[in-house]
Structure 1
Amino acid sequence: MAGFGLGKIKELQEAFQKAQQVQAGAQKLQEELEQMEIEGSSEDGLVKVVMSGNQEPRGVTIAPEALEKGAESLANLVTEAMKAAYVESTDTMRSKMEELTSGLNLPGM
C-alpha cells in the first residue's frame, strides 16, 4: 500500500482547517450581510430603496415630486432604484466573499 504517507495526511489536515476557516468566515459574513443597509436610488434621486447585504428589501423612500410624475414614471423610478440597490448589494457580497477566500488557494475560486 503506497502513496498515503505523512505528507498526504498533513495536506488533508490543512485542507480541513481551511474548510473550517471558510465555513466560520461564511457564517460571520452572512450575519454581517444581514445587518448591512445598502441603498440604491433612481438617477434623479427621487426614489431610494434600501436592501440588506443579502438583498432582503428593507424600505422605499419616495419624494413627493416623484408622485407628481404619474404612475408609470414612478414605477420606472422604483425599478431603477431597486436595480441600483441590487447591483450594489451584489458587488458588496462578491467583494466580501473574495476577502474571505483570498489566500486560501481554493480550487475553482
Structure 2
Amino acid sequence: MPQGQGFGFGLGKMKEAFQKAKQIQEGAKQLQEELEEMRLTAESGGGLVKITLTGNQEPCAVEIDPKALEESPEMLSDLVLTAMKEAYALSTATMKERMEELTGGLGLPGAF
C-alpha cells in the first residue's frame, strides 16, 4: 500500500472531508437558528383557523376566526386538526429542503 493512503483514502481527501464536515456543522448551527426564527402558517376552512409553527415545528400561534366558533365543536376540532397537520407538513418540508441545501444533496445517513 502506498504511503499516505490508508483504506483507499488519501490524506488530502481525508482533510477535504473533515473541512466539508466542519462547514456542514457550522451551517447546521446557523440553519437551526434560522429555523427557530422562521414562522410558517397554515390554515383551514378558508382561513377560519390558522396555525403558526417555527421552522423546527415549535407551535407559535393559533388564530380562530369568531365565525369558526359558530360551527359545531366537532367541526372546529377538525378545522384545528387540519391546520395543525398542514403547518407541520409545511414546517417539515421547509426543514428538509434547507437541510438538503446545506448538505449539497450528499444523502447523509440519518438526515431526513
Is TM-score (shorter-chain normalized) higher than 0.5?
yes
Counterpart in the other structure of 2:75: 73
Q: CA–CA distance in 2 between the matches of 1:98 and 1:64?
A: 40
Q: CA–CA distance in 2 between the matches of 1:106 and 1:14?
A: 17
Where does structure 1 differ by over 6 angstroms across 4 or more consecutive aligned residues? none
Segments of 5+ residues of structure 2 without an aligned counterpart are: none
RMSD of the TM alignment (CA)?
1.8
Counterpart in the other structure of 2:26: 24
Q: CA–CA distance in 1 between the matches of 2:58 and 2:89?
A: 13
Which deviates more, 2-11 or 79-88? 2-11
Q: CA–CA distance in 1 between the matches of 2:49 and 2:99?
A: 29
Segments of 5+ residues of structure 1 without an aligned counterpart are: none
Q: CA–CA distance in 2 between the matches of 1:3 and 1:76?
A: 66
Structure 1 position 4, deviation (Å): 4.3
Counterpart in the other structure of 2:84: 82
Ranked by relative contact order (alpha carbons within 8 Å, sequence separation 6 or more), the top structure is 1
Aligned partner of 2:11: which letter? I
Counterpart in the other structure of 1:9: 11
Aligned partner of 1:42: which letter? S
Percent sequence identity is 50
Q: CA–CA distance in 2 between the matches of 1:107 and 1:84?
A: 27
Measured against aligned partners, the alpha-carbon deviations of 1:29-84 in whole angstroms (never above 9, x if no partner) come to 00000000000101421000000000000010000110000211111000011011
Aligned residues: 107
Aligned partner of 1:83: which letter? K
**SS state of the match for residue 58, structure 1?**
strand
Residue 92, structure 1, aligned to residue 94, structure 2: yes
Counterpart in the other structure of 1:35: 37
